[in-house]
Amino acid sequence: MDTDYEIVALSEEWFDRAAELLSVMWHLPVEQSRLRLRWKYLDCPLATAPLVFLAVHRGRVVATLAFFASPFRIGERRLVVLCPSDGIVADEHRRHGLYTRLLLTAHEHLATGFDFFISLSANPVSAAGLLKIGWRILAAHDGLSRFQLMPASRYLLRMPPAAVNAEGLVSDPAAIADLYEQIPATPRGSARCCLADPDRAYVEWRYANPTEHYVAIPCYRDSRLVAFAACMVSRRDVFVLDYRELPGANALGQLVGTMRKCLRVPRYNCYGDWLDRQQQEALRRLGFRDYRPLLNTFLDRPSVPVLIHPTMKGAHDSDWVVEGLDLSKAANWIIPEFCNDGY
């Protein structure tokens, strides 16, 4: 092991140098990279401990590994889940085991105050390394849609450009938080699950990313809010990050119609793994198609497995069970796309 490398948590001393390295990954100017780094990891309301770890070599930041925090609940039990993200190693410093050292340091420092790590973007190589240190792939479950095993599939709808009309769209983070408060997160059917469920402070922070643009599309009937979709919008794509509706609203058709009318982009994307089967079928009827088919295991070919690891040291099988729910099973999680750090 090269002793010239020091693993440290992000601090103001290393902030600018970390932002410079991350600007390469984010394809952003350094100044924009600084804004994003501060928003994403220092301003996060769940950041009760440093969430970014750095490898320093002779005064230079040469690798980073960060953790994007998301709030979940099982019944009344609140959980904080950390998603490894923004891992980069400078080319000339690869093959020194820096990623593993960063990950093990994070396990040590984040074992208190957080409940699980979950990876939404592992490739076969990194997944193999995670499995060696105790991570697990969310287990397949008979009868589950393949969309629920790994967040690697999305529906893609190609439509001709439409007239731009922003009337009715919501972009202010506080106004988006108002929508979340009016329609609570609910599990599919009557099944208990680990459900992503942000409070107001988290929602306002989440949709205040200074380097991206977000809108929410509300759906009203008789002046009553019955559904909404929260989206990230770029020049070429709309990504649906979250969708909520009141029971029986069946509002996807109306929301997609508003999306077509108001957002002029070539592609509309919605990941299907966190939607229930009825919602998935509704998207198919609206013209969405399977854009990137899922595979049952990451070993079949490069894909995007979901892996989880409890933060406690020397975890046993019982540590995967919370409030009587086995969190090593894919069926027991609902993970909307707002939990994915890439958006």
What integer is the mean pLDDT of 56-61? 95
Are 56 and 14 in contact, with CB atoms under 8 Å apart?
yes
- Residue 267's pLDDT is 80
pTM exceeds cut of 0.85: yes
Q: Is the pLDDT of residue 149 over 50?
A: no
Q: Are strands 5-9 and 52-57 parallel, antiparallel or unpaired?
A: antiparallel
Are 185 and 338 in contact, with CB atoms under 8 Å apart?
no
In sequence order, the β-bridge partners of residue 307 are 119, 137
Q: What is the pLDDT of residues 273-317, one digit of tens each?
A: 677 778 888 888 887 776 554 433 333 333 446 788 888 776 777
Encoded tokens for 140: 């397949």
Encoded tokens for 296: 């049952």
Measure the CA–CA gap between 255 and 267, rounded to whole angstroms: 15
- Residue 296's pLDDT is 36
What integer is the mean pLDDT of 62-73? 96
- Residue 278's pLDDT is 84
Q: Domains along the chain?
A: 5-142+294-339 (3.40.630.30), 152-290 (3.40.630.30)
CA dihedral sign of residues 160, 341, 90, 37 = positive
Stronger pLDDT, 219 or 137, i.e. the higher one: 219
- Residue 262's pLDDT is 86
What integer is the mean pLDDT of 132-156? 48
